[in-house]
A and B are shown apart, each in its own frame.
Chain A
């Protein structure tokens, strides 16, 4: 594999890792606050459909983004009401919302556009187009670094840069702010937060709302940047892969980024069977390559990556003790 091909694969890796990363960080906020969220998939899907539809109707990618975030937050709010207010089972609520999103998105898209559950192809301003970073053209001829900067780092949509900036931001929020301290505490021992006079319910809803925003970004990116429009089940299990990456990363933001890049890399390989064949000297069936990220997900979830200790109060509704 030559350098240019490697850069192409890495470029694809970054593009494919972005929705995973946004969803993974979304899950991180929720789970760090003690609310398990298996419904990342559904939130992304609803955001993708809303973003695709609104972008198609208004011709503005930004309007689509807002609509996507709105739809995702609505789902997050439903999950919050079920899991926090009514102390329901968080897994069941998440699964239910995934089913709801799966059916509802196709239904609405079909009702609006009559194109078999898809939204119309997006063009121009209705999509987030690649941004060329300053100096990319100029540095292009510099050996090694120039092409790396031009191919891999520059030339993505603005949402990609936002996603990767959210990584250090999340680290800072979690470990350097009052909100982060309380958020982590409420996922470990909500009674400690409650007796300290801080609202457990308020904190958990705040966390779930952030999860909604980030899933909204992830879904909008899928429909208006990575691809040009919404298609049935277009998230294809990315919500679950993001969960696996979260566990792989042991609920830490920077590790989450690397985990998502790894999953993204496998997804990128699936798109380039020729490269894989050149490297391993064996013709690998494409379906097997397609399955690779999912196989890795199963391995991670089965605990082959060492013991990951989730937040201690995760999944348990908080009931004030007598």
Chain B
């Protein structure tokens, strides 16, 4: 690594860095989000920044884009010290940002979104005309094709992201920062994005890619900087490192990236679902006749791009929304609407649920950890003192025990849920549901916003629950997670199951095609063609 610093150092005399941060520090109250960060990004490279949640990546990028002012330190753009007090200055300095959550106006056209804030004069017509021309040449130059007159709300997520990139290019950005760009993309769309990024790099643009996905770093970047707890721990050449080394740098200890598990021993059918249908508030059918079976001692993984009915499947099985169809739990009917179709009845029947959105459905953030541990199980006799009163002391003791088992930090039951990190919040929810020893566990996005160390732990718990002969329905948009945990994989697209696959006999490509809505036959044919 010292050698790389040398090489990078020597480059400075030849060509200045596109961007260089010197001694950047930023504190939010007592929390030191960035501590003396130094980073130099050579021109015309793709530079990855990797780190766990809360490592300070986003804070650093927000400083670079003028959202926050650093407490100390210096930013150099193209070798010149450049203060960036606001977004306008960042744009003027040639920095463009593609946020994780797109900053697009949904009912505007592509063209209107692109000129917004970068108009030429007070009247729109000239701006829109010029933008149309520029867009045409950008499309030719970089292969970024988007219909300029389409409304954003009609575009796919991948295309919306292209609009964000075009917005930055239209503002003549030389440095493009992308924050977790692949979270919402199918593997195919992600591949396409990386091709675009490489094209941009080859035209001399500098790209900073922020992600927590090791695979993307290895695939797409030239250099990578690793952040841990607000500090920059290393900058290495991607070609000279490995996922294992990066993971260790991120967490500060050795991490098992592979899930260790034995072959499944499926038992009797725990849950069988026939023709499950869910309509949303607008009457649109979100779940269009889903049928599946989960046996004891197996993990059924549901893969798919977010928004293709997975959330509705979890919500319907978890009793959170009305559904139609037939569901049997251990052979007994599971009500899908009306009495008995609610979260508490489900839990009494032995169906535990770790919801996808832990902030809205998994926890009450303003409540203490021990109060959160009671949710859904507050009628459990073990938490009752008498007919009228709950046994809060028992509940607190139980919480303390769970926190110890799950290594929740800090292990303080009276601390409010919002004061735990994402990984520890998730551990509280998982502990609550798994420790009730359910027959069936529904779990959505188990590791969203959870750091690598906690991911490893949660995965182990899921495998242990499976080995204890329980059935698990796993929904995740992380294909890696689905592939490594599942014993069978169902791919959802547009409210339907496109196919069932054995994880040992499929690959990301095939799953990716299914996720994009190609049927099994088409996907097979396409795959052959591609080879």
Contact = CB atoms under 8 A, between A and B. Distances in A.
Given A181-B115, A185-B108, A322-B58, A192 B122 contact: no
Given A185-B108, A191-B103, A197 B62 contact: no
A197 B117 contact: yes
B528 to A, nearest CB: 43
Contact of B104 (A177, A179, A189): A189
A192 B163 CA distance: 12
B105 interface: yes
A189 B103 contact: yes
Interface of A: 175-182, 184-185, 188-189, 191-198, 312, 320-322
Contact of B116 (A177, A193, A321, A322): A193
Interface in B119-157: 119, 121-125, 127
A185 to B, nearest CB: 5
A192 B103 contact: yes
B123 A192 contact: no
Contacts of A181: 108, 112, 115-116, 119, 124
A177 B103 contact: no
Contacts of B5: none
Contacts of B107: 188, 312
A181 to B, nearest CB: 6
A205 B112 CA distance: 22
Interface of B: 58-59, 62, 65, 67, 86-88, 90-91, 97, 99, 101, 103-108, 112-113, 115-119, 121-125, 127, 167
B121 A195 contact: no
Nearest to A312: B106
A178 to B, nearest CB: 4
Contacts of A191: 101, 103
Most chain A CB within 10 A, of B59, B103, B108, B113, is at B103
Given A184-B105, A195-B99, A196-B103, 10 more contacts: A177-B124, A180-B124, A181-B115, A181-B119, A189-B103, A189-B104, A192-B104, A197-B90, A321-B101, A322-B58
A196 B117 contact: yes
B87 A195 contact: yes
Contacts of A188: 105-108
A37 to B, nearest CB: 21
B106 A196 contact: no
Contacts of A192: 103-105, 113, 116
Contacts of B86: 197
A178 B105 contact: no
B106 A197 contact: no
B87 A197 contact: yes
B105 A197 contact: no
Contacts of A182: 116-117
Contacts of B58: 322
Given A189-B103, A320-B67, A196 B118 contact: yes
A181 B86 CA distance: 21
Given A185-B116, A322-B58, A194 B122 contact: no
A185 B105 contact: yes
B250 to A, nearest CB: 21
A176 B117 contact: no
Find the residue from A177, A189, A193, A320 having the highest chain B CB count within 10 A. Answer: A189
